[in-house]
Chain A
Amino acid sequence: MPVLEMKDICKSFFGTYANRDVCLEVREGEIHALLGENGAGKTTLMNILYGMYQKDAGSITIDGHEIVFKSPKDAIARHIGMVHQHFTLVPTLTVQQNITLGLRDSGYPFSRERARCEHIDRLSDSYGLKTHSRTLVKKLSVGEMQRVEILKLLYRKAKILILDEPTAVLTPQESDHLFAMFKQLKAEGCSIIVITHHIQEVLDHCDRVTVLRDGCSISTVETKGIDAKQLSTMMIGRELVPVARERQNHHMDAPVLELVDFGFKRNGGKVGSVNLSLKQSEILGIAGVDGNGQKELLETLMGLRHHEKGKVVCCQQDISNASTAERRLAGIGYISDDRHRDSLVLDMGIAENLLLRPAQSTTTTQGRMVNKQCMLEQATRVVKEFSIKSHGLQEPMRFLSGGNQQKLVLAREFIGSPKVIIAFQPTRGLDIGATEFVHNQLLAMRSAGCATLLVSTNLEEILLLSDRIAVIHEGSIMATIENKAVDITRIGLLMAGVKTEGAAR
């Protein structure tokens, strides 16, 4: 008997269906994958199960009893737990406070910090989820936050665990570790629902998979006896064309971007330091486990954090102490890893979001006024070129899917034909179709002569796109290697901080 059965679930927002007659059945002790394009309705379905959204129609049965959840509180009481894609942790509370938030254990209403911390430590030991229960969540890396989210479920004794794109922020090793832990939970009788865009993960680790498309459930299949091709066809209705990186030969000698002894402050006060140089038509990939200073490095490079020491030269121009605007004007484009926070004004439309760049670099401004005509023409062009799906140029970005939002960010950064693109996790959270598009665009820019600094925790992506690969660990570059016949184990070791012989520059 399935532990969970969702039948004919319907949910619409403002008249359009997010879920239409979706069915999902999860058995006890299985890892069940949920697959689908951006906007297919995966998150919506899980939010309904977790009591965040109220379904319009359909029924949910758990252990044979039909249930109605008014809020997550009810779901938690029935031992359901969910880790959202955008973590739901309070940054200004400690790990322990976040994990025990809303619980009433012994001693209520007083917080029994010590007992709770001990309990958390026991849990984290037995599942290999290393944390410090007394640190503030805002000091944690993304990976650590995810561990806290999972501990939150375990602390609450969840029997059905839902994870929305948990691997999007993890390195392959971390992902493997995560799935290993799922297997342990599975053995203890838990059921796990995982949303993911990585088909390989589904095939490697999951027992069954349900595919959603356009709000409808296409089918549920066993992962044994199905291959990646079949799955992606089920998901996007076509076959995926693998991205190919051709060799580029016109590398100029003079570097376009050069970081000399470039220092940046990391969280916790440690100072990282790197030397890097980028040539025209080159993609330099920086691989590394999340939280090794990538974010700080890039934000300092963009002038968003205090410049510590060293020099940044872009096209023979020293921009070490330049403002963000000046750096952008010098020809640097920036794709942040958090598009909602750093890249988009969600309440503005497509057209206006394209204006989000230094005033001097826009072509749609005449004098001090914005040329509306020009602005709309530009937006129309971009929407067409990047095939952005929307309900009009003025539709707030909020209502676009993540994939389409990301396309717009790319489009904007590419408009001014930048000399350098800094791309930080450019495909995080995107479905395979959108990912394919982004990769193609980055390669197109490369062909056009643009130098790209690609920072990603996704090693596959790095290997696929980069001409050279640098590995970052604890704020410094361990080694830089040409991307020909690279030794994956060596990169793995470098990422873990183990230096090996033969590191070439």
Chain B
Amino acid sequence: MKRRDDEWVSLLVVTGATLLVAFGLIALVGSNLMVAASSFLRGIFGSSYAMSEVLVRATPLMLAALGVSIGFKTGFTNLGAEGQLYMGAIAITATALVFPGLPPIVMIPLVILVGFAAGGAWALIPGFLKARFSISEVIMTIMLNYVAINLVGILVRTSLKDPAYPYPMSPILPESANFMQMLPPTRIHAGLVMALLMVIAVHLLVFRSRLGFEMRAVGLNGRACLCSGIQVNRATILSAIAGGGLAGLAGVSEIAGLHHRLIEGISPGFGYVAIIVALLGKNHPVGIVFASIGIAALQIGSMAMQRTAGVPTSIASIVMGALILFLVIRDSRQSIAILEGV
């Protein structure tokens, strides 16, 4: 019981400290604190549209973070969700443009599959190189992010370019490749459902399946797995593929649910924020649901704060950094002792 109380106390302390930082900075730029605070809250809870936006933004974060977390479980440090997301986006665009006539019932599963495969394939490269040649996946995934982003740049100017316009973007995808809008006029789309299904799938995979057990075991003690006759490389590679695939689905979901065409910059760093989401969610599928919604709300709220109260976005960046640091401090075992001591 006491333990639970401490959790709440420390959470309050974190919230307080973050608010203090935020208000301090806002006061420094001379914005009105009340306006800023109310616009922050209004941006998140102000209307059903505002709340829906939080979920819209949480969708790709959730998917990508699930992917990242699977990698982390196996000890595969996947910093490449950004690139894998873009590969998924490329895949759905190419597929939908090549087979424009397919009915939705075929098209949707197809693009999901292809998007998953593309993201997975992109992660397979570092996964294979790590498993086979022990080449650092940290660097490899970062490098492949840059490559994927530039690949999008090339494709939207060449083979996937909309011939009708000079702009570097693909044509609008056929309707059949669109995810259902669930609650118009909000932008919530079937991608959210897909993400939640994936939460369950990942939970089953990681905590219920034999493969998931092997992945976790490999992440905790690869050598022991080797000695026990568990196929370590297979587990590493499969976790890389599954993780990359999930990030690829984030790309599919963004295109099919929101943009309906491939264009540069569809991800404002979702792949990187996903790493934070995964870690804050303690690499646990359910934790990731909350962490992704929390981080999405923070971002949506601070953008609203900027729009209404003129608070610079840099403050949001500071607050996000500070909040994560505070949470990290809270999570460390010792800090609980410190809080108790105070």
Which positions in A face B, CB cutoff 8 Å?
Answer: 302, 304, 323-329, 334, 336, 341-348, 352, 355-359, 361-362, 365, 368-370, 372
Contact = CB atoms under 8 A, between A and B. Distances in A.
Contacts of A327: 229
Interface stretch (B25-33, B63-71, B105-113, B206-214): B206-214
Nearest to A412: B228
Nearest to A352: B213
Contacts of A368: 209-211
A373 to B, nearest CB: 12
A348 to B, nearest CB: 6
Contacts of B231: 323, 325
A447 B210 CA distance: 33
Indicate the member of B216, B220, B223, B227 with the most A CB atoms within 10 Å.
Answer: B227
Contact of A324 (B210, B217, B220, B229): B229
A343 B224 contact: yes
Contacts of A324: 226-229
Given A368-B210, A369-B208, A370-B210, A336 B220 contact: no
Nearest to B225: A356
Contacts of A336: 227
B208 A372 contact: yes
Contacts of B21: none
B229 A325 contact: yes
A345 B214 contact: no
B222 to A, nearest CB: 10
A416 to B, nearest CB: 11
A352 B206 CA distance: 13
B230 interface: yes
B150 interface: no
21 contacts: A304-B227, A324-B229, A328-B228, A334-B227, A341-B223, A341-B224, A342-B223, A342-B224, A343-B224, A343-B228, A345-B217, A345-B221, A347-B221, A355-B210, A356-B217, A356-B224, A357-B228, A357-B230, A359-B210, A359-B230, A370-B209
Contacts, number: 76
B217 A348 contact: yes
A356 B224 CA distance: 8
Contacts of A348: 216-217, 220
A358 B217 CA distance: 12
A309 B217 CA distance: 32
Interface in B182-230: 204, 208-211, 213-214, 216-217, 220-221, 223-230
A369 B229 contact: no
B283 to A, nearest CB: 13
Given A344-B221, A346-B221, A368-B209, A359 B214 contact: yes
Nearest to A396: B220
Given A346-B220, A357-B229, A370-B209, 6 more contacts: A327-B229, A344-B221, A345-B217, A345-B225, A347-B221, A357-B228
A323 B229 contact: yes
B208 A370 contact: yes
Indicate the member of A324, A345, A347, A370 with the most B CB atoms within 10 Å.
Answer: A345
A358 B229 contact: yes
B201 to A, nearest CB: 13
Contacts of A369: 204, 208-210
Nearest to A346: B221
Contacts of B223: 341-342
Contacts of B230: 325, 356-359
B229 A344 contact: no
B221 to A, nearest CB: 5
Nearest to A358: B229
B220 A356 contact: no
Contacts of B214: 359
Contacts of A342: 223-224, 227
B69 to A, nearest CB: 16
A370 B224 contact: no
